[in-house]
Structure 1
Amino acid sequence: MLTGCYRHPQTATGVACTRCERAICPQCMVAAAVGFQCPECVGDGHAGTRRATTRFGGAIAQDGGLVTRVLIGVNVVVFVLAAYVLTPRLGQVWELYSAGRSVLGGPDGVADGPAQWYRLLTSVFLHLQWWHIGTNMLVLFWLGPTLEAALGRLRFLALYLLSGLGGSTFAFLIDGESLRSVGASGAIFGLIGATVVLQLRNRGPLGPVMAFLVFNLVITFSRADVIDWRVHMGGLVVGALTAAGLMYAPRERRGLVQGLALTGSVAVVAAMLVIGMARYGA
């Protein structure tokens, strides 16, 4: 006589779990290497299995470039809105703008206080010329997926945002008395710095990325009249330091060290903002 399934007693079955030997019906059968197992035994087997991660502790995703594409999409949408739909209002409200206390009408913008600090982040997503967004998004498309696959989505997003904020706050620290700037260049230079760190960590070829970095630095300082070198350098340094903390964290204390690295980057950004406010704020 057939036995009823342990989960569905009304269903008779002649099959038993190969691990616990309880009767299981077709609805509860989970194919195993040999025979079938019940859902509880399958769950117990998976409980001891370590979650697969990237080399630097991030969750492995089937689509390694999702965050990169989302960032590109957000930048493109903001560009269309700022350049063609809500012009010039959106650019005026979102740009990295600061006027110190010695300027007539100042302090204004970032120097005016916390209510205007949002500009440090919104300016990272703001472009007003097609060549500007085109150049930045091309580099993001080129470097982003590799870093995202290596770090995982959340760590990569944190790297991108901290690099952008690092560029903005460094520009404010250096020249918050009279400052206007837009663009994702700080975040992009942070990704370049992170790629250098990644190649060092993997002992890969440094020539191509170093040549690319030097090329961009030459352009930055040769066109300082139209390119904000402060944003580029701030993003580069913060991005490289953040990446170093994420990629060189020892496996046995990876979570702690990476958390401290991200906290340290936030602290650097906060310190630059506080010093800048002391120099230019009310």
Structure 2
Amino acid sequence: MDQAPGSPQEPQDAQELPGCYRHPDRQTGIRCVRCERPICPACMVSASVGFQCPDCVRGGSGTGHAPGANQPRTVAGGTVTADPRLITKVLIGLCLAAFVVQQTAGDMFAFRFEMLGHAFVPGMSEPQGVAEGQWYRLLTAMFLHGGFFHLGFNMLSLWWIGGPLEAALGRARYLALYVVSGLAGSALTYLLADPAEQSLGASGAIFGLIGATGILMRRLNFDLRPLVAMLVINLIFTFTPSFNIAWQAHIGGLVGGLVVGYAMVHAPRERRALVQFGACAVVLVAVLVTVVVRTGQLT
């Protein structure tokens, strides 16, 4: 906003703050998470993530909307939907269904689809693993779990972390973040873990969601301390030998989530989709290179 003559004493950062779209004389650093117009404290309406302007809360019935405000968007540019947790529910449903199949079909089902680099598996005549061309394990391992406690803890974490993040990103961006983070975790496991070590679980993807949540909270100026405390506690469990956790999946997922999450939240509006999905492509290329290099070492 232009500085009026005769007021040179105002600090530089105040000069750069825009005025509220309803009260232009009130400078603010907060924007509506749907239409991205600046809003002052008097106009803020609390949402599941961030704040909305009164017009968006009323469903766009007001006047003077900024371009694109007729189709409300999330803070990352996704479409606002009636059920902002649908993808989270679907992911939880897939994990629950896979667990039921595990319990019904027995251990051989998990042996066939869990993360495995290269090993001779009992009951199978040929060696198994990603090195044998079974790349699908990088993905399918994200939906399998080692027991009721493992499943319950991960699904509660997915609901608590994933639900609000899906509402903030939108369905397509949230699903891309989840899958890419999970694949990054599987790829790092393949690269660094013993090739005969079996790994399964959604926690790599969930760590990616935690990383992206931190990026989002930082942008919205939320208090990061609770999230940091939760992350530290989870990392302590991750590196505690008695828990027998594949730390590579957690770290890989976290790094992937930070990279993609930063692109999702901070992409410039004019080329938002290109930057966001371009970042996903970059991480996927890194996953591909990692898998090819490691396969060359094992074969």
Bin for the TM-score computed over the shorter chain: 0.7 to 0.9
* 1:99 partner SS: coil
Rg: which structure is higher? Answer: 1
The answer as to 2:165 corresponding to 1:147 is yes
Structure 2 residue aligned with 1:93: 112
- 8 Å CA contact 1:121–1:165 kept in 2: the answer is yes
Find the aligned partners of 2:130 and 2:286 in 1 and give their Cα distance: 17
- 8 Å CA contact 2:237–2:243 kept in 1: the answer is no
Structure 2 residue aligned with 1:40: none
Distance apart, 1:50 and its partner CA: 4.6
Distance apart, 1:178 and its partner CA: 2.4
Q: Cα 1:63–1:268, aligned 2, differ >3 Å: closer, same or farther?
A: same
The answer as to 2:251 corresponding to 1:228 is no
- 1:122 maps to a residue whose letter is T
Find the aligned partners of 1:162 and 1:259 in 2 and give their Cα distance: 10
Correspondence for 1:73 among 72, 93, 99: 93
Structure 1 residue aligned with 2:43: none
Structure 2 residue aligned with 1:215: 233
- 8 Å CA contact 2:142–2:200 kept in 1: the answer is yes
Which protein has the bigger helix share?
A: 1
Structure 2 residue aligned with 1:51: 71
Structure 1 residue aligned with 2:212: 194
In structure 1, the gaps of 5 or more residues are: 1-47
The answer as to 2:254 corresponding to 1:265 is no
Q: How does 1:1-282 map to 2 (within 5 A)?
A: 50-82=70-102, 84-99=103-118, 108-113=128-133, 116-175=134-193, 177-223=195-241, 226-280=244-298, 282=299
- 8 Å CA contact 1:201–1:247 kept in 2: the answer is yes
Distance apart, 1:175 and its partner CA: 2.3
Find the aligned partners of 2:147 and 2:268 in 1 and give their Cα distance: 43
- 8 Å CA contact 2:219–2:265 kept in 1: the answer is yes
String of CA shifts for 1:20-40, please: whole Å, max 9, x gaps. xxxxxxxxxxxxxxxxxxxxx
Distance apart, 1:107 and its partner CA: 5.9
- 8 Å CA contact 1:120–1:165 kept in 2: the answer is yes
Equivalent pairs counted in the alignment come to 228
Decide which moves more: 51-60 or 155-164. Answer: 51-60
String of CA shifts for 1:188-219, please: whole Å, max 9, x gaps. 11111111111112121100000000000001
Decide which moves more: 218-227 or 268-277. Answer: 218-227
Find the aligned partners of 1:219 and 1:253 in 2 and give their Cα distance: 40
* 2:244 partner SS: coil
- 8 Å CA contact 1:172–1:276 kept in 2: the answer is yes
Q: Could you tell me the TM-score, scaled by structure 2's length?
A: 0.72
Distance apart, 1:100 and its partner CA: 6.7
- 1:58 maps to a residue whose letter is G
- 8 Å CA contact 2:190–2:294 kept in 1: the answer is yes
Find the aligned partners of 1:141 and 1:133 in 2 and give their Cα distance: 12
Distance apart, 1:223 and its partner CA: 3.0
Q: Could you tell me the TM-score, scaled by structure 1's length?
A: 0.77
Query: What root-mean-square deviation, in Å, do the aligned CA atoms of Structure 1 and Structure 2 show?
Result: 1.9
Find the aligned partners of 1:181 and 1:220 in 2 and give their Cα distance: 13
